[in-house]
Amino acid sequence: MVAAPSCPPALRQEVNLSAFTTWKVGGPAEWFAEPGDQAELIALAAWAHSQGLALRCIGAGSNLLIADAGVPGLTLCNRRLQGSRLEAHTGLVEAEAGEPLPTLARKAARLGLSGLEWAVGIPGTVGGAVVMNAGAQGGCTADWLVSVRVLDPAKPEAPFDLQGHELDFAYRHSRLQAESWIVLSATFRLDAGHDPASVTALTSANLHSRTSTQPYQQPSCGSVFRNPEPQKAGQLIESLGLKGLQIGEAQVSPIHANFIVNTGAARAADIAALIQDVQGRVMASHGIALQPEVKRLGFEPGR
């Protein structure tokens, strides 16, 4: 397909997004690019704005379900937007949006910076963690975030900063979920002065705990549902005997009931149908409406 005139050279058309999600499902992006730095991302956003195209950004592709039909407009993948700066004496950490959370957690541990030990097993990026207020094992992004730099697709030439208290953080929620802004970078302040060996040991123990109790060997998005505190989504699903429940090649994991895995060639439609089926069964038996953590792209509202 011939590219539109004056489009940036980094752009590609009709790129299948299944290779960019941890579920390994999803149709094509009308336009797609992987910016290598913030300047390139801003230029791509400006081009999309000039063309009147919808703009969205994905990171590691975890916690994301993309429709089989794909998505219109420009999809940016920030996984090349990596890099970080850590100050051992102050605990200040600045990270690009595409920096993998496990990488940042290990870097912090090696400097004796405590606060991200929980993040080592989360297969996401810094940008996604801020948007979702990612967390695990008693910790979450909001606990340590100082500020975030974002870009408004309607005004791509003027990135701006938001302080942590402006993000309306709650359990697996931030203000950014309701905005079209794209995260460029984030700043954290961790707890400095700890023994690097001790922080590293705890970080490694947290990773072992997750990998030994969750289906890390199969494509998944991580946890599918938010925990309806004080209940746990996985326990509610397991109590109904739903481990192993399958639609197409999408399956409720036999290892952890709050995971849906792709057993081979699942379609996004299979996963969406299985999510809906589990929600219906939990509501019928427990009267609890499970809320997905999963962000959907390309689906009709309510589907």
Which positions are annotated as active-site residues?
A: 172, 223, 293
Distance CA 32, CA 252 (A): 31
The strands making up 260-262's β-sheet, listed across from edge to edge, are 246-247, 250-252, 260-262
Q: Which residues contact 223 (CB under 8 A, 6 or more apart)?
A: 233, 234, 258, 259, 293
Sequence letter at residue 296: R
Q: Where would I find the H helices in the chain?
A: 38-51, 101-110, 126-132, 196-213, 233-239, 268-286
Tokens standing for 112? 């004796």
Q: Are 125 and 98 in contact (CB under 8 A)?
A: yes
Contact 7, 47 (CB under 8 A): yes
The radius of gyration computed from the CA coordinates of the chain, to the nearest angstrom, equals 19
Residue type, 141: T
Are 158 and 152 in contact by the 8 Å Cβ rule? The answer is yes
Contacts of 112 (CB under 8 A, 6+ apart): 88, 192, 193, 194, 195, 196, 199
What is the Cα–Cα distance from 222 to 242, expressed in whole angstroms? 17
**Tokens representing residue 130 in the block:** 């801020």
